[in-house]
């Protein structure tokens, strides 16, 4: 995974696959590397015929980024990703995942379907431990939305990322990077940006989401005009939420894609040559990445989480108590018994005690 410092420790690693082409025996390591490099160069199409969901971006050094816009519950998005990687034989594949969601790359569809539907006490505790009480509960509600879509479609999310991981393993020297901002940062910044009333409205809407969803609806999410219309509606309803969950991540994804697109060393003399990169992101992020591509970006600003204010301690905690009650009920609806289990957590009990007997 390639975070903002682009360190090697952050990389998932160079993908490998048993289908790499054979080469003559008796070659030295450097000769074998050069042969594989030439094989990939021969496979790479210079003017590929790619799906309509692919956007081509370039850097001043001549590197090319093929940005594949996807719908997260779509079989055709998986095909788009596979087609693009096979055609351009990239140096790097970047996906819209962070280290907290990397496990979905190696889970099979059956396991993922079960995990998406099974919201239990362990998941609640893990979400709260990672993100805090308010952000953790909101994450559980979003998991409930994902489970609703999973149940409607019979399809686990993230198929396009697993396809990208598999196809990258068939390309010699291809590296695989996680390009998204860590999800705890996103949730904490999103919750901090909402007023208490907005949190309640959002939780209520997520809790009672029950509209049927078809595969045709999902495929419509790959149409840019429909996405822009949906985003406009979202901005009007929760502008702060759109900023933290969509716009800020557009900036972060742009940054990691540009880092991945730095020149690579070509054998045998380690000559610096332009890179070819495939980025796999949700279609809703494509317009923002295009807008930010040539801008100067401030990554540190969108990675910070402001400490909670001390102003209005008593009022805020009383109101939070009511909010926890609402979110606890929402979690109860998302999975039987989770609401009751939530109230038994030591963190919630301690905060409720503080509300009953505030100290000044």
How does pLDDT run across 191-200, given as a tens digit for each residue? Answer: 888 777 777 7
The better pLDDT of the pair 320, 71 is held by 71
> Each residue of 171-185: pLDDT tens digit?
999 999 999 999 889
Residue 238 has pLDDT above 50, yes or no: yes
| pLDDT number for residue 91 | 98
Digit-coded pLDDT (tens) for 55-88 = 999 999 999 999 999 987 778 999 999 999 999 9
- Residue 272's pLDDT band (boundaries 50, 70, 90)? very high
Where does the pLDDT of residue 19 fall: very low under 50, low under 70, confident under 90, or very high at 90 and above? low
Write down the pLDDT at residue 317. 61
More confident call, 359 vs 46: 46
In DSSP terms, 299 is beta-bridged to none
Stretch 27-47: mean pLDDT: 90
Over residues 132-162, the pLDDT tens digits come to 666 666 666 666 656 655 556 566 678 899 9
Share of the chain above pLDDT 70, in %: 55
Confidence tier at 339 by pLDDT (50, 70, 90): very low
The residue with greater pLDDT, 317 or 293, is 293
| pLDDT value of position 60 | 97
Query: Rounded to an integer, what distance in angstroms lies between the CA atom of residue 197 and that of residue 323?
Result: 9
**Does pLDDT of 301 surpass 70?**
yes
Q: What is the average pLDDT value for the chain, to the nearest integer?
A: 76
Task: Tell how strand 175-178 and strand 13-14 pair up.
Answer: antiparallel
Helix (H, G, I), strand (E, B) or coil at 108: coil
Sequence ranges of the domains in the chain: 41-309, 310-338
Q: Which residue has the tokens 């692919």?
A: 54
User: Helix (H, G, I), strand (E, B), or coil: what is residue 254?
Assistant: helix
Please give the angle made by the CA atoms of 95, 98 and 100, to the nearest 5 degrees.
140
Query: pLDDT grade, residue 18 (50/70/90)?
Result: very low
Torsion of CA 114, 120, 125, 126, to 10 degrees: 0
Provide the Cα torsion 95, 100, 105, 108; round to 10°: -150
Buried b (16+ CB within 10 A) or exposed e, 133-144: bbbbbbbbbbbb
**pTM, 2 dp:** 0.71
Sheet bearing 54-58, strands edge to edge? 13-14, 175-178, 92-95, 276-282, 64-70, 54-58
- The stretch 304-325 carries a mean pLDDT of 59
Q: Higher confidence at residue 36 or residue 224?
A: 36
Contacts of 278 (CB under 8 A, 6+ apart): 65, 66, 68, 81, 84, 85, 88, 90, 92, 93, 94, 164
Q: What is the pLDDT of residue 311?
A: 42
pLDDT-based confidence at 226, cuts 50/70/90?
A: very low
Q: What pLDDT is stored for residue 182 in this prediction?
A: 93
């Amino acid at each position: 995974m390639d975070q903002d410092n682009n360190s090697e420790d952050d990389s998932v690693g160079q993908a490998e696959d048993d289908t790499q082409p054979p080469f003559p025996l008796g070659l030295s390591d450097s000769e074998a590397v050069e042969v594989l490099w030439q094989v990939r160069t021969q496979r790479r199409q210079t003017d590929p015929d790619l799906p309509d969901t692919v956007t081509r971006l370039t850097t001043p050094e001549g590197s090319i980024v093929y940005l594949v816009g996807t719908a997260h519950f779509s079989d055709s998005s998986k095909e788009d990703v596979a087609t693009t990687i096979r055609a351009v034989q990239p140096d790097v594949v970047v996906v819209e995942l962070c280290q907290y969601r990397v496990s979905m790359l190696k889970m099979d569809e059956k396991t993922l379907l079960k995990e998406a539907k099974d919201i239990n006490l362990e998941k609640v505790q893990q979400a709260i431990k990672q993100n805090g009480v308010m952000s953790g509960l909101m994450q559980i509600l979003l998991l409930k939305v994902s489970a609703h879509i999973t149940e409607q479609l019979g399809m686990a999310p993230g198929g396009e990322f697993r396809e990208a991981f598999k196809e990258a393993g068939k390309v010699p020297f291809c590296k695989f990077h996680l390009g998204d901002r860590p999800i705890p940062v996103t949730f904490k910044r999103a919750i901090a940006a909402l007023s208490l009333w907005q949190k309640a409205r959002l939780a209520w809407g997520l809790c009672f989401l029950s509209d049927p969803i078809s595969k045709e609806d999902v495929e419509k999410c790959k149409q840019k005009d429909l996405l822009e219309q949906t985003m406009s509606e979202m901005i009007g309803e929760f502008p702060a939420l759109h900023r933290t969950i969509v716009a800020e991540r557009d900036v972060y994804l742009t940054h990691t894609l540009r880092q991945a697109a730095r020149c690579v060393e070509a054998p045998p003399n380690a000559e610096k040559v332009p890179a070819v990169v495939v980025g796999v992101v949700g279609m809703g992020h494509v317009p923002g990445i295009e807008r930010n591509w040539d801008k100067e970006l401030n990554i540190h600003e969108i990675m910070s989480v402001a400490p909670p204010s001390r102003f209005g301690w008593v009022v805020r905690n009383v109101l939070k108590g009511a909010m926890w009650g609402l979110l606890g009920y929402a979690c109860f609806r998302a999975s039987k018994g989770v609401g009751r289990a939530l109230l038994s957590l030591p963190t919630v009990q301690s905060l409720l005690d503080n509300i009953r007997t505030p100290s000044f």
